[in-house]
């Protein structure tokens, strides 16, 4: 006897097929971006604080130039753009800690959303915030009188933004590692210390030799060096490239492993 599948059964089977791109959706991405933009405390640290830092520490340096004749204020502006992108992407990635506390990670097991699509949405959201941080910092610098060649604006801005991917992965890593109530309490001071050690707040040449050697192994060092290279004209620092690649791999793989562990709990 031959059994023929009913149209209803066929439609049900078709509906259960895995969604395209693992369930990644620009609609969900838009919702995520709007949600984080409504958080005033996040916007304060991402957009306001780095701009205030530039006005406090950059404006007194107006008129001073680097060895190549470009303004010192440009160096300060690019460094703080890296810091703004770093804070933005880390805070957006670290938001997963709150979702974990609410049980959202476990809910993912009941949906067709692939874990990779969920992580991609979080990273994309973080990178949008990072781009916003860089643009605001550059806008404040330009309004304050920073004048740089066009290629420096473009290359330094892109490097500061793309390099912040390291910190998006850091945010996810810490978000899956630490309790929700402790994430930003821990990450806020930690990012400030990393920024100082990595040469964003103070030129490394002004630090003791021991601190200069330690700085080369921090996550901030590589991104800062590469972002300022178009301004200083030092060319590509391959040690800095290796620094960025190593930390991105470490945080990315760590976040992926913690995410799999979190979503497979009973």
Q: Which of 46-55, 110-119, 158-167, 234-243 has the lowest mean pLDDT?
A: 110-119
- CA separation for the pair 26, 220 (Å, rounded): 30
Q: Which residues face 65 on adjacent strands? A: 71
Give the pLDDT of residue 242: 94
Give the pLDDT of residue 13: 47
Phi, psi (deg, nearest 5) at residue 235:
80, -175
Buried b (16+ CB within 10 A) or exposed e, 150-188: eebbebbbebbbbbbbbbbbbbbbbbbebebeebbeebe
Q: Round the average pLDDT of the chain to a whole number and report it.
A: 81
Cβ pair 207, 46 in contact under 8 A: no
Structure tokens at 28: 């969900």
Helix (H, G, I), strand (E, B) or coil at 71: strand
- For 129-169, the pLDDT digits (tens) are 999 999 999 999 999 889 999 999 999 999 999 999 999 98
CA angle 246, 252, 258 (to 5 degrees): 135
90 CA to centre of own chain: 5
Phi, psi (deg, nearest 5) at residue 65:
-130, 160
Per-residue DSSP letter, 218 = S
Helix (H, G, I), strand (E, B) or coil at 43: helix
Specify whether the backbone of 103 is left (phi greater than 0), alpha (psi in -120 to 50) or beta: left
- For 92-116, the pLDDT digits (tens) are 777 777 777 666 666 766 666 666 7
- Per DSSP, the residues of 165-189 read HHHHHHHHHHHTTS-GGGHHHHHHH
Give the pLDDT of residue 115: 67
Residue of 169, 167, 186, 28 lying closest to 88 (CA atoms): 167
Helix (H, G, I), strand (E, B) or coil at 65: strand
Q: Which residues face 71 on adjacent strands? A: 65
The structural domains of the chain, with segments of one domain joined by +, span 22-263
Q: Which residue has the higher pLDDT, 263 or 13?
A: 263
- CA separation for the pair 167, 171 (Å, rounded): 6
pTM for the whole thing? 0.85
Percent of the chain having pLDDT more than 70? 80
């Amino acid at each position: 006897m031959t059994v023929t599948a009913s149209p209803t059964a066929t439609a049900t089977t078709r509906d259960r097929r895995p969604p395209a791109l693992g369930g990644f959706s620009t609609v969900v991405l838009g919702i995520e971006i709007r949600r984080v933009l409504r958080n005033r405390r996040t916007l304060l640290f991402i957009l306001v604080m780095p701009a205030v830092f530039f006005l406090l520490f950059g404006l007194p340096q107006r008129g001073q130039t680097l060895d190549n004749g470009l303004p010192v204020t440009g160096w300060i502006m690019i460094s703080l753009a890296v810091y703004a992108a770093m804070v933005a992407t880390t805070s957006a990635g670290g938001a997963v800690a709150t979702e974990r506390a609410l049980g959202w990670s476990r809910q993912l097991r009941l949906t067709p959303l692939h874990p990779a699509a969920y992580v991609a949405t979080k990273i994309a959201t973080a990178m949008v915030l990072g781009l916003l941080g860089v643009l605001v910092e550059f806008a404040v610098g330009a309004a304050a009188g920073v004048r740089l060649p066009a290629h420096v604006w473009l290359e330094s801005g892109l490097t500061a933004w793309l390099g912040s991917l390291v910190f998006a992965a850091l945010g996810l890593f810490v978000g899956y590692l630490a309790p929700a109530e402790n994430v930003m309490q821990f990450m806020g001071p930690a990012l400030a210390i990393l920024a100082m050690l990595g040469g964003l707040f103070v030129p490394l040449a002004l630090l003791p030799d021991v601190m200069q050697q330690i700085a080369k192994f921090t996550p901030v060092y590589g991104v800062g060096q590469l972002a300022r290279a178009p301004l200083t004209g030092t060319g590509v620092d391959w040690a800095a490239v290796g620094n960025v690649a190593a930390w991105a791999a470490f945080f990315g793989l760590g976040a992926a492993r913690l995410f799999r562990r979190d979503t497979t709990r009973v």
